Structure 1
Amino acid sequence: MKNLKNITCPNCHSSFEIKSAIWNDIKSSIELELNQEILNQKSELQKKKDEYQKLSFRLSKEKADFHNLVEQQVAKDILVKTDSLRKKIEEEISSKKEKELDELQSKLISKTQEISGLNKLKRKMALENEEKEAKIIIKYDSMLEEKLKEAKLAVQNESSEKHKLEIMQKEKLISDLKTQLDITQRKIEQNSSQLIGEVQEIRLESLLYEIHGDTDNIVPIPKGVNGADCYQEVKTDSGVILGKILYESKFTKSFSKGWLDKLHEDNKSINSQILVLVTKTMPKELENESFGIIDGIFITRLNFIKPLSILLKYSILKVSQVQLKYKGHENKQKVLFDYITSQEFENMSKSVLKQLESLKISMDVEKKKLVKIYAEREKMIENAIMSMTQYFGNINGIVSSDAQVLKALPKAS
């Protein structure tokens, strides 16, 4: 590199040194020009870079738009082709199904005609058989009538003592057999009624246990011992017995007033304050009542024992409260008896029982309606499932399994 601090004369080629001040001015001027040129270059480069970025962004956007346009067009073409293919397949299926239905209809008509012919033949043969049977019956009836006439004449002609004795023996045997049959039938009916009665006794005790078993004592009376079926000891929370309720169960076709006297007699060994007779057949004066009182005994049916037993227990608890006011009163049983046999208690009990009976009838009606509705809806669901299963099964069976348009259809189970 040449020494820029010296200047060479172009004519004589002699070199001499430039002064420092001049050199600095030149250097500064050159550096300024170079820096300006660099700045210009950088500015130009930045402009081109910005233009490139704008161009690149616009190109990317146009590319994305073009890609979206292509996808939309492809999707549209696919949808059009799919619809066209579906319509074509549906037309083919419809045409095939119509053809199959026509064939089935023709076969059905043919089979119906065959069946009609067979039915006519069957009816004809049946009539012929009936005519033959009628002729045979008439023939044998005539023969039997002749034989009976002959036998009757023979019997009429046989008037010997031996024959009369045989007839009397046979009549006696028949009479004895009838008597024995009646006795056996009555025993069977008695055993059946006794068994049903025992079942009702067990059911009565079970109901009382369910209702009052947690708080009271339900004491069954042993079999073979004269007395009622069971009695209830009404207790306080601390276990003090406030009173007793004696229960007797009857399951017969008719009501007997003798049961009332017997129940009073049975109560002498129990000393219950309240007596209850549970019977299948109510007395005539109480046929249309839920319960009633005759000779100081409550009479009711088994299906009303729950509300009645609750009311009777409540009466004993109520009377025990009344007795606190009459502490030391000697005739406590009379106080209890007077209360539970009063018109007030009877009216209150009947009112509560009627309300419970109405509520039970209403609940039974609602229950029947709900059961019917649930059954109808369940049947509708089953029919719909069967219809859809058959529908899709028919389609999958008719159309080839590789048909792309039907891959989304559910298969018949």
Structure 2
Amino acid sequence: MDVIEPVAKGEFGGDVLHRVVGPAGQPCGAILWESKRTKNWSQGWLGKLRGDQRAAKADIALMVSEALPPGVETFDLVDGVYVAHPKCAIPIAIMLRQSLIELANSRLAQDGQATKMEQVYGYLTGPRFRHRVEAIVEKFSDMQEDLAKERKATTRLWAKREAQIQVVIEATVGMYGDLQGIAGKVMQEIEGLDVLAIEASWPETE
């Protein structure tokens, strides 16, 4: 199980240090997270986070920000730091985590051929990783759009059903009232119909 450590004040920067643990319980690396909630991007953030990454001995630095560098729409590797919009932070984090696990396994099989950081940098800056993340982000965005459409459709369906139920209640209560007017006291009371009559007379509220 991964370990998520909030960064205490007075230590290195960043918000959270994410220690990745492999299926066999082996440590596979660390991701230093930092989030920004400002409207304007500052290029100085990258240099500071790189320094914090070295201090934390993290393999990857990931900055999540609504304000992105010029030319970046959702995510990119900018000056050695991954920068991502909040809407795609989750799929990118999943890919980064899995990449660290794969690289750790590869390092065990190829010990001595390359350093860990060289492997991480080579893979994460290559086209294979980028294509994977782009595909995930695209599908993730499609899923969010589909969910929003389904939510709207369900809300409309509920409103339609409520209107139909209201018509049935009003018709039933009205018919019973007509029969009571004809039969008088001979007409037996129907349990629960009074409650329906009260509900039918209430104005609709949001």
Give the secondary structure class of the aligned counterpart of 1:400. Answer: helix
For the pair 1:230 / 2:42, whether they are aligned, the reply is: no
**Structure 1 segment 298-337 matched on structure 2, within 5 A:** 298-329=82-113, 331-337=115-121
Q: Is the 8 A contact 2:12 2:55 kept in 1?
A: no
Q: Is the 8 A contact 1:393 1:411 kept in 2?
A: no
Give the CA deviation at 1:363.
2.4
Instruction: Tell me the residue number matched to 2:185.
Output: 401
Whose strand proportion is higher, 1 or 2? 2
1:227 partner letter? G
For the pair 1:249 / 2:35, whether they are aligned, the reply is: yes
Structure (1 or 2) with the larger CA radius of gyration: 1
**1:192-218 Cα shifts (integer Å, max 9, x gaps):** xxxxxxxxxxxxxxxxxxxxxxx1000
Instruction: Tell me the residue number matched to 2:140.
Output: 356
CA 1:411 to 1:327, structure 2 compared with 1: closer, same or farther past 3 Å? closer
Unaligned runs of 5+ in 1: 1-214
Q: Distance in 1 between matches of 2:9 and 2:175?
A: 67
Instruction: Tell me the residue number matched to 2:197.
Output: none
Instruction: Tell me the residue number matched to 2:56.
Output: 270
Give the secondary structure class of the aligned counterpart of 2:76. Answer: strand
Give the secondary structure class of the aligned counterpart of 2:33. Answer: strand
Give the CA deviation at 1:251.
0.1
Q: Is the 8 A contact 1:245 1:276 kept in 2?
A: yes
Give the CA deviation at 1:328.
2.2
**Structure 1 segment 120-131 matched on structure 2, within 5 A:** none
**1:260-318 Cα shifts (integer Å, max 9, x gaps):** 011011112111111100112222311xx332111121111223222111110111112
What TM-score comes out, normalization by structure 1 length?
A: 0.44
RMSD across aligned C-alpha pairs, in angstroms? 2.2
For the pair 1:366 / 2:150, whether they are aligned, the reply is: yes
Unaligned runs of 5+ in 2: 195-206
**1:338-371 Cα shifts (integer Å, max 9, x gaps):** 1011122111211121112112211221222122
For the pair 1:280 / 2:66, whether they are aligned, the reply is: yes
Give the secondary structure class of the aligned counterpart of 1:283. Answer: coil
Whose helix proportion is higher, 1 or 2? 1
1:390 partner letter? G
**4+ long deviations beyond 6 Å:** 408-411
1:268 partner letter? R
Q: Which has the higher contact order (CA 8 A, sep 6+)?
A: 2
Q: Distance in 2 between matches of 1:412 and 1:321?
A: 70
